[in-house]
Chains A and B, each alone.
Chain A
Amino acid sequence: MQQADLTATSVVKRFGDHLAVDSISFEVARGSFFSILGPSGCGKTTLLRMIAGFLEPDQGEIAIGGLNMRAVPPNRRPVNMVFQQLALFPMMSVGENVAYGLARRGAGRAERAAKAAAMLERVGLAGAADKRVDQLSGGQRQRVAIARSLVLEPTLLLLDEPLGALDLKLREHMKIELKQLQAEFGTTFVYITHDQSEALVLSDRVGVMNRGRFEQIGSPQDLYYRPASAFVAGFVGDNNRIEGRAVAVDGATVTLETADGWRLHARRETAVAAGDAVEAFVRPEAATLARERAQLPPGQSVHEGVVDSLLFDGAKSAVLLRESRSRREIRIALPQTGQFADLRHGEAVFFSFDPERATCFAAAGRGGNGRG
């Protein structure tokens, strides 16, 4: 691994009784794009504000570029931040906004203007320096906010849900633009989001946060295919969640039986013993659908279901069906061939999946994880 630009060691932050950040440790490699993904209120902003220096950790250390940041005020840290609501200065022009940090460093007027203009050009806003902030569109403001930070050449750029304020179309567009900007500048990005698709698309590594802790830190592929906890499996990507009891454990394969007697197999991700309460996750695209039993891949256990509804969404089309025994709702992705386009409500179908691609976890004591 390359040298780390950001190292957090056992960082803790409490608000009264509430443990907002619970002993978090992680590293972000130089030049990489690191995302912190988690549901609302899990402590993402708190963590970011500690890195920026607006909050003091109760315990633990934060080092940036190898330097310990304890007692370093926010205006002396080599980090810059893109705020959730952008926080562009309304009383200044676009150029003055971008040059603000340079002016604070004592750069001369000419140097400031030149650097600001060059930076604006790099983010595709050449010639906008004299505009007022409120004359810009949402996406342009976004770019000004990023330019304002990047012009200072920070070691680390922090972004707190910077796309949160934009509408859906613009989000999709800015997502790609952000990725390109990061690749071009090579600055280390720490990016906060509660949108798993943003995290997966943009990041080199993602930390999935829940209740003030990281559940898993890994590449987007790791999170998607090898979730380390039930929370991650439920939170990252679509998943069918089935809870029940382990009736048999054979090596890595667990046989799960639901309360109403439906049995299925899944790969164990945590220690599981026969008789334990467990939950299994099956991704919609991991299951195969068929009208006849014989059309399913051989060797997989076959499950029966009844079509509930067809969800057409282009390449992401799926069918919702009810497993015959348990009446559970299962979502299965439809192949692109269009071969199931004529499925009817109430039609009986068969499905199966490779137990290797279904994950199984010992059920946690707490309920209501992620999207179930």
Chain B
Amino acid sequence: MIPSLPRPPWLRAATWIYVAAFVGFLFLPLIVVSVFAFNDAPYPAPPWHSFTLDWFVADGSTSRLGLFHDSQLLESIWTSCEVGVWVTLLSVSVGLANALLLGRHEFRGKQLLSVMMLVPLVIPGVILGISILAFASRIAQFGDDSLGLDLGFLRPGLPLVVLGQFSYIATIATLTIRARLARFDRTLEEAALNLGASRAAVFATILLPYLRPALIGTAAVAFLLSFADFNTTLMLVGGDPPLTVLMYGRMHQGATPVLNAVSVFLMIASAALALAMVRRPRD
């Protein structure tokens, strides 16, 4: 119970032991992954041999291929980044438009639309993936048969991956931006109008600066989610796999610690992103 009430010492001790065990459970896999990125052995398994940076820097001449020379891995990281940037741009701009629409406008069917916007969050990612795959190939087929158009981007590949990820990340973007918009004090807008600002100036000088923390936060979350997405991506991916899909494939085959090295790289990148977010002064 809460600290202001009497708690027997054993309960207090048990609480903290449980919390410590819990945090250990959360971090254990990450620690293990990191440690074996530096083990001088061909497989990420005990025992510990000695420290090496081979899994980052080896160039293949010693039968070991490190992350920085594994062009397949590097390419997939780049692919993931590209997809992530597109998904982020799309999600944030659509999320902003949706937030403004739901927060500021009245129209018939608003209730229905706002519920529909939440629905993608409860559709399993795999199903989002196959439904978009099926629909896109139907259109591509139609374009091919009836109009003689080659709609190649509707075949499995990165454009579809972007759309598939966007289809549910847009919901999260809408929710977070809308939540911040709901806390906006509308008299600020009236005050700006009263001081002679045009509609466009009010948007640019008052509303956008106010929403900026939410927009930046949403962008970071959207990028991370896109980078980590697997279920939807798996169904829509074509010839060039993003990192998660490539890693999955290699893990099935029992890969070398180069995957651990990629993981360490990802952890550092995520931590940097998180730190940047935390450091940013909030208002």
Contact = CB atoms under 8 A, between A and B. Distances in A.
A53 B195 CA distance: 12
Interface in B182-223: 185, 187-188, 190-198, 201, 205-206, 209-210
B218 to A, nearest CB: 18
A324 to B, nearest CB: 54
B190 A74 contact: yes
Given A87-B191, A91-B283, A100-B205, A75 B196 contact: yes
Given A91-B209, A104-B201, A152 B185 contact: no
Interface residues of B, number: 18
A83 B191 contact: yes
Interface in A289-307: none
B283 A90 contact: yes
A90 B283 CA distance: 8
B195 A80 contact: yes
Contacts of B198: 75, 104
Contacts of A89: 188, 191-192, 206
Interface residues of A, number: 25
A143 interface: no
A101 interface: yes
Contacts of A53: 193
A104 B206 contact: no
A79 interface: yes
A275 to B, nearest CB: 53
Contact of A105 (B196, B206, B209, B283): B196
Contact of A152 (B192, B193, B196): B196
A83 B194 CA distance: 10
Contact of B194 (A79, A85, A88, A90): A79
A241 interface: no
Q: Is the interface of B mostly helix, strand, loop or mixed?
A: helix
Given A75-B198, A104-B198, A87 B188 contact: yes
Contact of A81 (B185, B194, B201, B209): B194
Interface string A65-104: 0000000011110011101010111110000000011011
Contact of A100 (B192, B210, B283): B192
B209 A85 contact: no
Contacts of A74: 190, 193-194
Chain A CB count within 10 A is highest, among B190, B195, B201, for B195
Nearest to B208: A91
A89 B186 CA distance: 11
B213 to A, nearest CB: 10
Contacts of A44: none
A83 B195 contact: no
Nearest to B213: A91
Interface of B: 185, 187-188, 190-198, 201, 205-206, 209-210, 283
23 contacts: A53-B193, A75-B193, A75-B197, A76-B196, A80-B194, A81-B190, A83-B187, A85-B187, A87-B188, A89-B191, A89-B192, A89-B206, A91-B209, A91-B210, A91-B283, A100-B192, A100-B197, A103-B205, A104-B192, A104-B198, A105-B196, A149-B195, A152-B195
